[in-house]
Amino acid sequence: MGLLDGKTALIFGVANDHSIAWGIAQALHDAGAEVGFSSIESLIDKRVRPLAESIGSTFVEPCDVQVDADIERVFSRWAETHDGLDILVHALAFAKREDLTGRFVDTSRDGFALAQDVSAYSLVALTRAALPQLRRGSSVVTLTYYGAEKVVANYNVMGVAKASLEASVRYLAADLGPDGIRVNAISAGPIRTLAAAGIGGFKGMYRGFVEIAPLRANITPEDVGKTALYLASDLSSAVTGEVIYVDGGFSIMGAPSGD
Ligand code: NAD
Ligand code: 0WE
């Protein structure tokens, strides 16, 4: 008996086997869910399809979340092959590399708009497109980061986009609650994924995190997967509009412990 037996999930944002989205996919699959995938077209054949096949998934569709027609296509394909959706996972973000270094004050108009479009508006667009297929009791889960609330050096325009994403979670939760649909975010501590590769100072931050976080360990995609399983399942039946921290306690600390 799995927590998600008979449920279906559609997961956006697998890039490779280090992706948080893949950690979530494994946790949902292990609990009995049937999982489908959507990612950027260039990743599908080399990366996503082999991972999907390894857990017996056949639904793998390309989607650039900046393109409305791509979003419509994915959900009409889902409708052709399924009779509803229980779990929608949004695990994607993008900003120009040049906007993730130096001063936030130098962010361009188009860099700001791009980060908002891919990293925040896409949650609204995907949720709306999924709505006709989302059943009562279904769950929408997105990924955020502490840089939405406090200044993290170099996170810059992504911090502002994540603040917008977190507010969007609350407005979506208020809209969809009457239909029995819950919307929540997981705020994960730093994880070495493709999106973290080559970020200036990430290595130091990753090491420093372990010294400050009460649990004294880095966060893994499996850690995030387990909280996603809770949010996707009936265990969280009265939880909506929340940001849940999977950060080893990092965000509760005011000053480092000193030892
Ligand atoms: P990742 O690189 O594995 O995943 C990011 C995904 O975003 C990729 O699959 C990429 O293709 C996708 N993406 C980017 N632009 C897109 C577009 N226009 N259309 C469709 N997909 C697009 O990295 P990750 O760390 O697993 O990131 C997943 C989520 O977790 C992101 O929202 C990220 O902000 C968040 N997050 C990451 C960390 C971390 O430290 N890695 C911490 C907290 C939150
Ligand atoms: O949300 C993220 C990363 C999101 C991200 C990463 C990239 C790298 C490649 C968005 N856009 C891009 N664009 C690229 O061209 N994280 C939470 C991981 C992360 O990124 C940081 C961090 C942390 C943590 C950037 C600066 C400082 C800290």
* Nearest listed ligand to the Cα of residue 218: 1
Among the options 146, 155, 230, 245, which is catalytic?
Answer: 155
pLDDT of residue 256: 81
pLDDT of residue 258: 75
Residues of the chain with pLDDT under 70: none
Domain ranges of the chain: 8-244
pLDDT of residue 201: 85
pLDDT of residue 24: 98
**Whose Cα sits closest to atom 28 in ligand 2?**
155
CA of 255 to the centre of ligand 2 (A): 25
Query: Is 121 an active-site residue?
Result: no
| Residues 191-242: tens digit of each pLDDT | 999 999 888 888 889 999 999 999 999 999 999 999 999 999 999 999 999 9
Order of strands, sheet of 243-246, starting from the edge strand that comes earlier in the sequence: 60-62, 34-39, 8-12, 85-90, 134-144, 182-188, 243-246
In CATH, the number for domain 8-244 is 3.40.50.720
